[in-house]
Amino acid sequence: MDNLTHSLVGALLGQAGLKRRTGLAMPALIFGANLPDIDAGCVVYGIESLAMRRGLTHGPIAWVLLPLLLAGFLWWFDRWQATRRTRPEDRLPVHFGWLYLLAFVGCLSHPALDWMNSYGIRLLEPFSSRWFYGDTLFIIDVWIWAAMIFAFVFSRRIEKRGTGNWRRPALLGLVAVLGYINFNMVVTATARAQTPQAEAIASPVPLAFWARDMIIEVDGPIYRGKAKQRWTLGQGLSDDYTLLTDQPACIHPLQLPMFAHDDAEVRAFLFWSRAPYVEREDRDGRMVDVLKDARFDGRFEVEVDVPAEAEECYFE
């Protein structure tokens, strides 16, 4: 999920009452909820970063070590402010144990949310490189934003006025988001059950949480290609599907390592990709094969240099 969603989860956990456990509790929760995304720096490696993201920093070892580092920094920061006489007088006493526990809770919320979308996460890295997919939420969900922002703002206003239970709106906001997530799980499970293809991927649709784009495979004369078929709650699966490529290449993604075994970008892409397909495109008068993933409509792609004499039709 996006970092605003992760931050709001940490903030609501704090407003639900956890921020009263120790000084600097809110930074521990909010920063902790974003800690696993320290691997975002690997984007400097371009396409190869697809194989680096959502792995080691999202796995069990990171769940333990990253909160420990954050708690240590916050504890040191409190002591540093005290020695400089800049520590706020209204800050609660800082307890390292609570800092670590809150950072740990925030950190755990991150992979739990990342698992919800179709991008995937390697939950067991470094013990296993298997990808896990929840297919439940789009990576940016404005309905979750709206619910959590409203709950947080309402909670803070009540707290400042001192006129009621300021924890309740935050708790209700978290319960509402959990209910929304569970509803979306049911939507995804129903869409899968009503799609004939067992290998179909249920891809959440932006804004339309009641719909799923079912990624399926369709056969052509000499190729197998990817297509999307819309499923909607209450209406079921549409009769038509949309091909993701106008000019499918004769090369199947499983053949690519034979031709591009020394290409680090292709290896990384295939390791990350869940629904790879190859499209033949005319680029500046030159026909090239482009490796894409059906989940993202070509937003990630790698040009594959396949020698003309090596091309074979995999499905002939």
Is residue 127 domain-shared with residue 226, that is, in the same domain? no
Rounded CA-CA distance 247/279 in Å is 6
HSE on the CB side for 304, CA within 13 Å? 32
Greatest alpha-carbon pair distance for the chain in Å reads: 78
Domain count, the chain: 3
Instruction: Let me know whether 298 and 206 are in one domain.
Output: no
Are 224 and 260 found together in one domain?
no
Residue 284, pLDDT score: 81
* 141 and 216 share one domain: no
Same domain for 99 and 64, yes or no, is yes
- Answer whether residue 168 is part of any domain: yes
pLDDT of residue 249: 67
Which three-class secondary structure state does DSSP give residue 164? coil
Which structural domain range is residue 257 located in? 253-310
pLDDT tens for the chain, residues 1 to 316: 999 999 999 999 999 999 999 999 999 999 999 999 999 999 999 999 999 999 999 999 999 999 999 999 999 999 999 999 999 999 999 999 999 999 999 999 999 999 999 999 999 999 999 999 999 999 999 999 999 999 999 999 999 998 889 999 999 999 999 999 999 999 999 999 999 888 889 999 999 999 999 998 876 544 557 888 999 999 999 988 888 776 666 666 767 777 677 889 989 999 999 988 888 887 787 778 888 888 987 789 998 876 665 555 443 4
Residues 175 and 213 grouped into a single domain: no
Element (H, E) at 265: helix 264-272
In a shared domain, residues 32 and 158: yes
Q: Are residues 280 and 216 in the same domain?
A: no
Residue 316 is assigned to a structural domain of this protein: no
19 beta partners: none
pTM: 0.91
